[in-house]
Amino acid sequence: IFRVILGEHPNFACRGIDLPSDTSDADPLLLWSELVHVDGEREVALRGEARYVQRISRGFENHERALDASVPLRLESRERGLLDSLRFTSFELPVCAPGEVLLEVKAAGMNFRDVLKALALYPAETADARIFGDEVAGKVIAVGEGITHLKVGDSAFGLSVFGLATHTLARGADVRKMPDNLSYEEAATLPVVFMTAWYALHNSARMKAGETILVHAGAGGVGMAAIQIAHHLGAQVIASAGSATKRALLKTLGVKHVIDSRRGDFAEAVMELTDGRGVDVVLNALAAEAIPMGLSCLAESGRFLEIGKRDIYMNSRIPLWGLRRNCSFHVIAMDAIFAGDEDQTRDLMAGIAGLVEEGALKPLQFRSFPASRIDAAFRLMAGGKHTGKVVVGFAEPFMSRKGEPPLPAFSIKPDGAYLITGGLGGFGRVLAEWLVTCGARHLVLSSRSGASTPEAVEFVAKLEGQGISVNVIKADIGSPDDVQRLVSEAGTSSVPLKGLFHLAMVIDDAPLSALNVERLRIVMAPKAHGAWLLHENTKALDLDCFVMF
């Protein structure tokens, strides 16, 4: 209630003081001492001579211990936005399904979107917001049915999910055998940057010999790959970089015209270099004002290729004036291609691998970090101080083998019963259908009125039509007797209760000033008191889950 007051009346200067449950003659003095105490704490608990204040900390105990070398580890973030929260965490080794390949990772390439994820600048609602690493090189340790181009023991490279890990699972189309003349680190520099650059220049822009391209961030991974591909296609290259060191590097790569991307007049420099014509293609990785400036550099029928993420995720507006001369704007979203079009990914991988084997394309220069210094790798990329690729090596001597052992994966048991309080409401029905898709065959749905509406009766009939056993129990979750009866009827000796999902609630929203004791009791009884009653009546049962919404 105290926090509700703060939320509804932010102009009030409020403090919450929690005294011990047992009254004492010293309570008035403790209360007065706290009232005159001057600091910024809004919530304080007094226990004897101790004074506690509110802080957020990890709720579960830390059970870290030395892990065996056979335990697989992958990079995870305990708190998005903090690089210090990045940790290698143990996980259960996946089993190869048909068409899949399991790799022991020797080296993994990093990309800027890994940094965006770690800094919480990547959309949290996306499915891969907490997945780090897209490109790997390593040893094949298992292949699924239907894989013929690789065998156990081969060195392979390509794309994967959770690539920043000691072991990773990949689609067969996403990995290929490594060329014999490459190291694992060199192979890890290839997949994402070269496939992105090739798709952008060859597939989207359809560059031809004699055309001119402006490559922004030319000293980055995709930039350096694009320069190689542009030269291979016979194009003229103008490249930009933000530091003198990076611009000097671009000169060594055969780039004749190098400009400063941080200059406010880089567009004028491009027009001067092209005698006022402009460039046929712009490969852009810069944000904000760089986009309209880049559009102004386009020649007639020019193509603007956007490989940056920030403006897209910010839903930035595009000024269309720069496209007036039959120009086009292309968003290069390789993550969508990699996730969806397996055939196209296979073709891109094959094309890049073939050009590398012919010597037409060469691995990028890279800076390698051991996995134990993954934080330093992220900080280097976040600061934009790297050139080429950043690669993480997974040599065993440099792995930190301390962590929590992997927990068994949660799964729905078809021979167990699952109780949903409030199970006939809208959210309860969605949850029930999800449990069925996960394998549940026995559901117990409780509500105060039972299946009393046509919608509820239709829903139960629908589940039963799928062969699901549905037990509808009428119960008030705020009543001790009803909860005891509900739990006793929810499971049997042959079909024990294995999971409980507490959704029951009464909604009676109003400003605090309009509420009274009875209205509060009606709302709190099923949600808070009901949760306690369910806990008391199930704590002796062997439940797999107890979930409160």
**How does DSSP classify residue 241?**
E
- Cα(224)–Cα(335) distance, integer angstroms: 20
More confidently predicted of 24 and 408: 24
The domain spans of the chain are 14-53, 65-189+365-403, 194-339, 417-548
Q: Which residues of 159-176 are buried (b: 16+ CB within 10 A; e: fewer)?
A: bbbbbbbbbbbbbbbbbb
Domains 194-339 and 417-548 fall in the same CATH topology: yes
pLDDT band at 327 (very low <50, low <70, confident <90, very high): very high
Mean pLDDT of 520-530: 92
| pLDDT recorded at residue 457 | 94
In this prediction, residue 131 has a pLDDT band, given cuts at 50, 70 and 90, of: very high
Structure tokens at 431: 């949850």
Percent of the chain with pLDDT over 70: 99
Query: Rounded distance, CA 228 to CA 541, Å?
Result: 64
pLDDT at 254: 93
* Inter-residue contact 71 to 90 (CB < 8 Å): yes
Amino acid at 128: D
> Which pLDDT band holds residue 440 (cuts at 50, 70, 90)?
very high
pLDDT digit string, tens, across residues 196-251 = 999 999 999 999 999 999 999 999 999 999 999 999 999 999 999 988 999 999 99
CA separation (Å) from 216 to 220, 249, 258, 281? 9, 14, 10, 11
Q: Which residue has the tokens 């490459």?
A: 182
Using a 10 angstrom Cβ sphere, with 0-12 exposed, 13-18 middle and 19 or more buried, the burial of residue 384 is: middle
CATH among 3.40.50.720, 3.40.50.2300, 3.40.50.300, 3.10.180.10 for 194-339: 3.40.50.720
Q: What is the pLDDT of residues 158-196, one digit of tens each?
A: 999 999 999 999 999 999 999 988 999 999 999 999 999
**pLDDT digit string (tens) for 297-324?**
999 999 999 998 777 777 788 888 888 9
Which has the closest alpha carbon to 476: 424, 425, 548, 530? 530
CA-CA-CA-CA dihedral for 219, 222, 223, 224, to nearest 10 = 70
Please tell me the CATH superfamily of domain 65-189+365-403, with its number: Medium-chain alcohol dehydrogenases, catalytic domain (3.90.180.10)
Quote the pLDDT of residue 224: 96
State the pLDDT confidence band at 58, using cuts at 50, 70 and 90: low
Q: Is the pLDDT of residue 282 over 80?
A: yes
3-state secondary structure string across 439-491? CCCEEEEEECCCCCCHHHHHHHHHHHHCCCEEEEEECCCCCHHHHHHHHHHHC
Q: Tell me the average pLDDT of the chain.
A: 90
Kindly indicate the confidence band of residue 128, based on its pLDDT and cuts at 50, 70 and 90. Answer: confident
197-207 pLDDT tens trace: 999 999 999 99
- Is residue 477 over pLDDT 90? yes
Q: What is the pLDDT of residue 378?
A: 95
**pLDDT over 70 (residue 61):** no
| pLDDT bucket at 25, cuts 50 / 70 / 90 | confident
Say which residue, 57 or 307, is predicted with more confidence: 307
CATH number for the domain formed by residue range(s) 417-548:
3.40.50.720
H or E segment at 66? strand 65-66
Q: If you average pLDDT over residues 507-511, what whole number do you get?
A: 87
CB 340 within 8 A of CB 206: no
The answer to whether the CB of 215 falls within 8 A of the CB of 237 is yes
50-64, 352-366, 432-446: segment of lowest average pLDDT: 50-64
Tokens encoding 473: 């129990």
pLDDT at 60 over 70: no
Ramachandran category for residue 388: left, alpha or beta (phi over 0 → left; psi -120 to 50 → alpha): left
Q: Starting at the earlier edge strand, list the strands of the sheet with 279-284.
A: 257-260, 236-241, 212-215, 279-284, 298-306, 328-331
Q: What is the pLDDT of residue 106?
A: 97
Pick from 134, 185, 93, 146: nearest CA to 409: 93
Average pLDDT on 479-496 reads 94
Q: Which percentage of the chain shows pLDDT scores above 90?
A: 63
- Span 473-477, average pLDDT: 94
